[in-house]
Amino acid sequence: MDGQVSDLYGRTIPSFRIAAMMEQSKWRSFRYNLDKKDRKIFDELFSISRLYNSTCSNCARPMVIQCILMSIIFHHYKQLIGSSKDNYITKKKVSNQNSMN
């Protein structure tokens, strides 16, 4: 037993947080082959998924990567919706100001 992921089989199921860290380590070779600036972005993606660890741990998904990817997609979707609303409000304010002049 050398402390590797394979040593966990047959034991208690790890928490989602630990399982997510194990999943991230599976992507090391992919990350290594990215440019340095892209590695930072890749790391940020996995960091986003940590915001939703409690939600993912309550989700009955056997594949950890599914929860990680859905967390990332959901977070970016929320940001897009927020940006769209902000743009709409800004355009409406500009339109109202132009109609007053």
pLDDT greater than 80 at residue 12 = no
Question: What percent of the chain is modeled with pLDDT above 70?
Answer: 85
Q: How many CB atoms lie within 10 A of CB 61?
A: 12
More confident residue, 21 or 86: 21
Instruction: pLDDT band for 1, please (50, 70, 90 cuts).
Output: very low
Cβ contacts of 49 within 8 Å, gap of 6 or more? 20, 56, 67, 68, 69, 71, 72
Say what the pTM is: 0.60
**Rg of the chain taking only CA atoms, in angstroms:** 20
| pLDDT tens sequence across 16-61 | 889 889 999 999 999 999 999 999 999 998 899 888 888 888 877 6
